Chain A
Amino acid sequence: MEQPNFIEKLNATFEEFGQQKVVSRGQFILKVGEVERNLYFVKSGAIRVFYLTEFDEQIIRFGYKDSLINSLSSFINQNPSEFYIEAIRKTTLQIISRDKLYQLVNENEESLKQYILLLETLITQQIDREIDLLITSPSERLKRVLSRSPNLFQEIPLKYIASYLRMKPETLSRIRNS
């Protein structure tokens, strides 16, 4: 019988051991300064991860249906989070702890390999995002993001997408309509 792969095991772990939590719109799942001890699976709803500057809230990542998300650097280093995680609308999360995740990862060599693959995917996504922000053309930036997340506009309100794309909402409306 084929061994379940890491992702399948992860999903099963979320189902079996995960704690379900419902958060309302505007509720903070994690605040700056708190240490991230969880990994979240979004069953429904939408959340944003953002960095607060003196001038605005810079969204770096979204989580919506079927996303795995958390404040990753804090999760890895166990340092205080530099990001906020906030529910954009009512959201149902499935939560597993860091300990549980690492237990799963270290179960066998196959799990470890799969976890590494997952991390590699994440790293390339981060680099793609870095390139997003270097691209000057707003429409090209939008195109890149949409190719990775085609359902974005169905899941996330426009003003947040604009923040993620680092443009004004008016600019985003304009390039969408052209």
Chain B
Amino acid sequence: MQFENKTLIHELLLLSHQSTQAALQFKNLPIEQLNFRETENSWSALQCLDHLNKYGEFYLPEIDKQILNNPVQNQQLSFKSGVLGNYFANLMQVKSGQLKKMKSPKDKAPSNSGLTLITIDKFLKQQERLIQLLTDAQAINLTTAKTPISLSKLIKLRLGDTLRFYVYHIDRHVIQAQTAVKTMAR
């Protein structure tokens, strides 16, 4: 798949802003609602955000590194997706509002207890950082710049795909979090 940097970044920024707004709404809710789990195996809203925070701890520095280490280009750039990157991005992308159940890596499993409003604030800080990085990424060659993935440092994705995968992953879990709080309100 081929994208214009400008178009791709615009889409990812829009989605990121949406996720940020959703998290801001969570701040108005009582902590019990944010910690509510429908079943033993489902996650509360705070657990969803905690999971995302763990991913941010890995990906934000990696994305930052690539932006720092790759030259800023003054021309209109386009990005060509890689096979693996495209696969991950599509896997994460939420299509027609439906969320399929997925297994998450064990080391990124959220904490079972002790989650507070700090989890939301941390997520919001990560989002702030992400939006900054997305804006800076527009002028970088997103095809030649590559980041490792959290599953294995040996596997590298094109930066454009990392950004897509990362933003879609956030969207997915934010929707999951919204469902979790709505379930209690029923």
Spell out A's residues near B (CB within 8 Å): 26, 28, 31-32, 52-55, 57, 84
Question: With a CB–CB cut-off of 8 A, which chain A residues contact B122?
Answer: 52, 54
Name 23 interchain pairs, CB-CB below 8 A, sorted by A.
A26-B114, A26-B116, A28-B117, A31-B117, A32-B121, A52-B118, A52-B121, A52-B122, A52-B125, A53-B125, A54-B56, A54-B57, A54-B60, A54-B122, A54-B125, A54-B126, A54-B128, A54-B129, A55-B56, A55-B57, A55-B60, A57-B118, A84-B118
Question: With a CB–CB cut-off of 8 A, which chain A residues contact B57?
Answer: 54-55
> Other CB < 8 Å A-B pairs besides A52-B125, A54-B60, A55-B60, 9 of them?
A31-B117, A52-B118, A54-B122, A54-B125, A54-B126, A54-B129, A55-B56, A57-B118, A84-B118
Question: With a CB–CB cut-off of 8 A, which chain A residues contact B118?
Answer: 52, 57, 84
Size bracket, chain B contacts: 10 to 19
- CB-based nearest A residue for B129: A54
- CA gap between A31 and B118 in the complex, in Å: 9
Question: With a CB–CB cut-off of 8 A, which chain A residues contact B121?
Answer: 32, 52
- CA gap between A28 and B56 in the complex, in Å: 25
- CA gap between A53 and B57 in the complex, in Å: 10
Question: With a CB–CB cut-off of 8 A, which chain A residues contact B128?
Answer: 54
- CB-based nearest A residue for B114: A26
- CA gap between A102 and B118 in the complex, in Å: 32
Instruction: Please give the distance in Å from A16's CB to the nearest CB on chain B.
Output: 35
Question: With a CB–CB cut-off of 8 A, which chain A residues contact B60?
Answer: 54-55
- In the complex, which of the residues B116, B117, B118, B126 has the most CB atoms of chain A within 10 Å of its own CB atom? B118
Instruction: Please give the distance in Å from A58's CB to the nearest CB on chain B.
Output: 12
Question: With a CB–CB cut-off of 8 A, which chain B residues contact A55?
Answer: 56-57, 60
Question: With a CB–CB cut-off of 8 A, which chain B residues contact A54?
Answer: 56-57, 60, 122, 125-126, 128-129
Instruction: Please give the distance in Å from B49's CB to the nearest CB on chain A.
Output: 13
- CA gap between A32 and B118 in the complex, in Å: 10
- CB-based nearest A residue for B116: A26
